[in-house]
Structure 1
Amino acid sequence: MNTKKRLSVVMITKNEAPLLIDCLLSVAWADEIVVLDSGSQDNTLLLAQHHGAKVYTNTDWQGFGKQRQLAQQYATSDYIFMIDADERMTPELKIAIETVLTTANNNAVYSCSRRNLFLGRFMRHGGWYPDQVTRLYPRQHYQYNDHAVHESLNCDPAEVTPLNGNLLHLTCRDFCTFQRKQLSYAEAWAVQRYQQGKSCHYLTIFAHAIGAFCRTWLLQAGFLDGKQGLLLAFVNAQYTFNKYTTLWSLHDQQKRKQQ
């Protein structure tokens, strides 16, 4: 008979007070909640402590991947579930995870679907659903890579099994805040690629941006999400444009310095 595994829910935060409580309540059943904060100026830390989380601080920010690696080091349970403050675990997903904790072997890795909110609508198309993310895994076997943005779990060669139930992701609640975050992600992406020696041609900026729009709107059926689907296609094109323009600009600045 299998012994039920213990679960640590792990998250990284910064100024997440408006979102944190509902997230913590959705995972309050876990054996342990670990919060690693990167320097909040609001009452994020007090709220996390009040709701029973083990709270730590690291203000030496080196990107999302490395921060998640550090956060995992504070966990003590058999399994990790990595979550963000703007996500909520549904009851169906909770049941699926509890089943895993009772039956899984020590090398099993699991993913779940995210329902992403965009301008008041949980999207069903445009690449925003099912948006499969790998979040449940044995603590001693795997960890996140060290990418500054768009980090992911290093779990090769494990087979990733999808779970029933969804994560609710409040991605775009306020459009201006969302845009600022997208711009910071684009900059971090470009800097990382630049440091890796990657470059792009001036004309490929537009090719990538147009491709992003067509992929979201047509290939991924964003048009089925109505007005939000069309706006999302433009937003994805804009984000792609910002990424590649920043990368091109970094190389252009370097060339000018060498002249």
Structure 2
Amino acid sequence: MSLSALIITYNEEHNIASVIENLDIADEIIVIDSFSTDETTRIAATYKNVTVVQHPFENYATQRNYAISLAKSSWILFLDADERLSPELKEEILETIQMKEAYSAYYFYRTFMFKNTKIRFSGSQTDKILRLFKKENAHYNLDKIVHEKLIVTGKTGKLKNKLTHYSYRNYSDYKQKMIFYGKLKAKEEFKKGIKPTFFHFYIRPLYLFLNKYIFRLGFLDGTNGIIICYLKAFSIYTRFQELKRMNSNH
């Protein structure tokens, strides 16, 4: 069975070479870029086994479905530019797609890194995501435009080796990411007709922070745990501020 690796990018010049070289198990690599203003596409184009396609970014679900449509292989592997496969996970992926009784899709558990420090708690303990699947059996739900949901026809399984996610380069980088996600999530809430109240602006963020920091043991991650839990809560606040703005304009 053949494998297409798909990477969605925007201004990932610091990651793109490393992630492409990490995907040496793929039969083809396609970079779907939403018109980066840095060197992302130039760097990606220097690799002979990589196809670079520029496509306007509407939301993650639409962009991922477009990427799937470009793939030539029967199996799809999605990887973010800040994610890496271990040698053990690469071997497990190759073994899995050759199985006659392989399921339609597979979850990866992820290890989160803050700079070069492993995040063990803060809500990351049980994180898993569908990233490996048969092209003909899956597509992304267009109603979920951030933290997009893969709709799978057939059974799903789990791989035992973890995917490493270098999602927290620094405070500023992660804050901007949380603001971006919050604004996208506001579009989902707007479609549902939600009108934000005091509860949404203050109780929801406070609850999320306390849940991640205390009940999901974020305090055991030290200073990094405080930063991560705070910024996740801040994203909730940003979401409803954006939703308030959208409602006031309509």
TM value normalised by structure 1: 0.89
| 1:79/1:136 contact within 8 Å kept | yes
Q: Which residue of 1 aligns with 2:127?
A: 131
Alpha-carbon offset, residue 50 of structure 1:
2.1
AA paired with 2:110? R
Q: Which residue of 1 aligns with 2:202?
A: 206
Question: 1:110 aligned to 2:106?
Answer: yes
Aligned identity (percent) is: 26
Q: Distance in 1 between matches of 2:207 and 2:67?
A: 36
Alpha-carbon offset, residue 125 of structure 1:
0.8
TM value normalised by structure 2: 0.92
Question: 1:25 aligned to 2:32?
Answer: no
Question: 1:222 aligned to 2:218?
Answer: yes
Q: Distance in 2 between matches of 1:229 and 1:121?
A: 11
Q: Which residue of 1 aligns with 2:87?
A: 91
Within-5 A mapping of 1:97-176: 97-105=93-101, 107-146=103-142, 147-155=144-152, 158-176=154-172
| 1:107/1:141 contact within 8 Å kept | no
Alpha-carbon offset, residue 216 of structure 1:
0.4
- CA-to-partner distance for each residue in 1:169-209, whole Å, 9 max, x for gaps? 11110221221121121111112311332233223321111
| 2:96/2:102 contact within 8 Å kept | no
Alpha-carbon offset, residue 130 of structure 1:
4.1
Q: Distance in 2 between matches of 1:30 and 1:127?
A: 31
Q: CA RMSD in A?
A: 1.8
Which has more radius of gyration?
Answer: 1
Alpha-carbon offset, residue 247 of structure 1:
2.1
Alpha-carbon offset, residue 73 of structure 1:
0.7
Alpha-carbon offset, residue 120 of structure 1:
4.0
AA paired with 1:85? A
Q: Distance in 2 between matches of 1:46 and 1:124?
A: 36
Q: Distance in 2 between matches of 1:223 and 1:178?
A: 18
| 1:111/1:134 contact within 8 Å kept | yes
Distance of aligned partners of 1:110 and 1:235 in 2 relative to their CA distance in 1, 3 Å threshold: same
- Secondary structure in structure 2 of the residue aligned to 1:164: coil
- CA-to-partner distance for each residue in 1:89-136, whole Å, 9 max, x for gaps? 111111111110111546521011111122542211111234201101
Would you identify which runs of 4 or more consecutive aligned residues in structure 1 move more than 6 Å?
none
Question: 1:233 aligned to 2:229?
Answer: yes
Distance of aligned partners of 1:30 and 1:239 in 2 relative to their CA distance in 1, 3 Å threshold: same
Q: How many residues align?
A: 248
